């Protein structure tokens, strides 16, 4: 299964609650924090929702 590294590159200040919740559900907390996730349809949808806040790298 493919994996991606997700890094939070923009602050959550002033963002709607649903975007904040999505970032927390991905396991990100502070700016520049990173997590490695398996690519599933659910993760793809979460990344699409917050694509303007994160950087995604294929591993």
pLDDT by residue for the chain (59 residues), tens only, comes to 799 999 999 999 999 999 999 999 999 999 999 999 999 999 999 999 999 999 999 99
pTM greater than 0.85 (yes/no): yes
CATH of the domain at 19: 3.30.1390.20
The pLDDT of residue 1 is 77
Helix/strand/coil for 23: helix
- What is the per-residue pLDDT for 42? 97
For residue 50, which phi and psi values (nearest 5 degrees)?
Answer: -120, 30
Domain range spanning residue 17?
A: 3-58
CA–CA separation, 12 and 58 (whole Å): 24
**Residue 34 CB-density burial (10 A; 0-12 exposed, 13-18 middle, 19+ buried):** middle
How many domains in the chain? Answer: 1
């Amino acid at each position: 299964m493919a994996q991606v590294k997700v890094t939070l590159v923009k602050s959550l200040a002033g963002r709607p609650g649903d975007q904040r919740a999505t970032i927390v559900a991905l396991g990100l907390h502070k700016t520049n924090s990173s997590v490695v996730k398996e690519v599933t349809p659910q993760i793809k949808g979460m990344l699409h929702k917050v694509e303007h806040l994160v950087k995604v790298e294929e591993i």
